[in-house]
A and B are shown apart, each in its own frame.
Chain A
Amino acid sequence: EAEVAQSPRYKITEKSQAVAFWCDPISGHATLYWYRQILGQGPELLVQFQDESVVDDSQLPKDRFSAERLKGVDSTLKIQPAELGDSAMYLCASSTTGGTSTDTQYFGPGTRLTVL
């Protein structure tokens, strides 16, 4: 069964350092999402891609976060500089088209970030 891959699974960094997370969606899925999940809460969208284009990044803190999906396949999310409040689980998800409300989003295992 195809899965969404993410790496690393765990990342510990010091504040003011740069971190990067990688996601490889299910093959053929045009839509890719990055969510942030703070401990004890539900995930919240950071950015959504349709192929290589950003569809929604209204919740992405653009002064320190950036995301790209250059060839419309895998994606990288970067934080520079990291702050204590960025400690969370970062989840990547993908769906076939993203263009309808019936599409199922499939999630990867996540990257647990701890900022010291």
Chain B
Amino acid sequence: GDSVTQMEGPVTLSEEAFLTINCTYTATGYPSLFWYVQYPGEGLQLLLKATKADDKGSNKGFEATYRKETTSFHLEKGSVQVSDSAVYFCALPSGAGSYQLTFGKGTKLSVIP
């Protein structure tokens, strides 16, 4: 079945460092791909998405490019801030007709001043 594999955390970075969180997927066809962010004690917020191959999603300085050749959707940010500390989830819709989201296990990011 469809699945998502994320790099394991936790990840600790200094403020202004470069961030990469790897995400690869296994799916039938070319589904949309999503990154969600979860701040402590809160629900999930959509960070960005891409709906087809070679699309680049971007939001709040974060970017991810849909690479069908490598089945990847890595999340990047050039300069992280303390406020970016959160758990990041890669996800894809799966299930014919239902399109429930299948999530990775999440990567916890801590940014220190």
Contacts and interface: CB of A to CB of B under 8 A. Distances in A.
Interface of A: 4, 6, 33, 35, 40-45, 48, 55-56, 91, 93, 98-110, 112
A42 B104 contact: yes
Given A41-B105, A48-B98, 5 more contacts: A56-B98, A98-B99, A102-B32, A105-B46, A110-B42
A108 B43 contact: yes
Given A41-B105, A41-B106, A42-B89, A100 B43 contact: no
Contact of A104 (B43, B46, B97): B46
B77 interface: no
A42 B98 contact: no
Contact of B45 (A35, A99, A107): A107
B105 A106 contact: no
A101 B103 contact: no
A43 B95 contact: no
Interface string B43-57: 111100101000000
Which secondary structure dominates chain A's binding surface?
A: loop
Nearest to A56: B98
A77 B42 CA distance: 19
B91 interface: yes
A105 B105 CA distance: 18
Interface in B26-60: 31-32, 34, 36, 41-46, 49, 51
Nearest to A33: B100
Contacts of A93: 44, 101
A55 B49 contact: no
A47 B101 CA distance: 12
B31 A105 contact: no
Contact of B44 (A98, A101, A107): A107
B105 A42 contact: yes
Nearest to B46: A104
Given A107-B43, A108-B43, A101 B31 contact: yes
